[in-house]
Amino acid sequence: MESEADTASSADDTVNAYLMLGNIHLAFGDFVRAYAYYEEGLEASRKAGMPDNEIKFLNDLAIVSCYQGNRDKAVKFNEMLADVPAIDKPMQRYLHLITSAYIERLSEAPTSPLRRCGRRSPLSTRRAWTGR
């Protein structure tokens, strides 16, 4: 018989697997599969009562929706992210802000969703971190 600790560990492993598989597919531009893995991870997180993982999957679903050019879905997931009763409130605020920035980029003029959401953030440049 499986103990409560084993069950929690198994749920954590499952959720982490969905996150990693989604991230791999996202990195290779397979947005459909990334989206599917993030959806499965969201469901598993909710089932296991893991609100902090739930906010991560909602963030990832919003980002993938941006890459797919679907602003309405991205906004929906970002709103859901803000409403989760998360334990890690600073992480929740951070992810909400990051997702909001992606959505804002999606609203700009360039025609390609990848160009809109895929630009480098000013924070990712060396100058932003070093001042040089």
pLDDT in tens, 46-75: 999 999 999 999 999 999 999 999 999 999
Domains of the chain, residue spans: 9-118
Q: What is the pLDDT of residue 108?
A: 74
Residues 6+ apart with CB under 8 A from 112: none
pLDDT beyond 50 at 3: yes
Q: Which of 9, 95, 102 is nearest to 56 (CA)?
A: 95
9-118: what CATH class?
Answer: mainly alpha
In whole angstroms, give the CA distance from residue 61 to residue 37.
Answer: 9
Average pLDDT along the chain: 84
| CB distance 43 to 53 below 8 Å | no
Whole-model pTM: value is 0.77
- Count of CB atoms situated within 10 Å of the CB of 132: 5
| CB distance 15 to 41 below 8 Å | yes
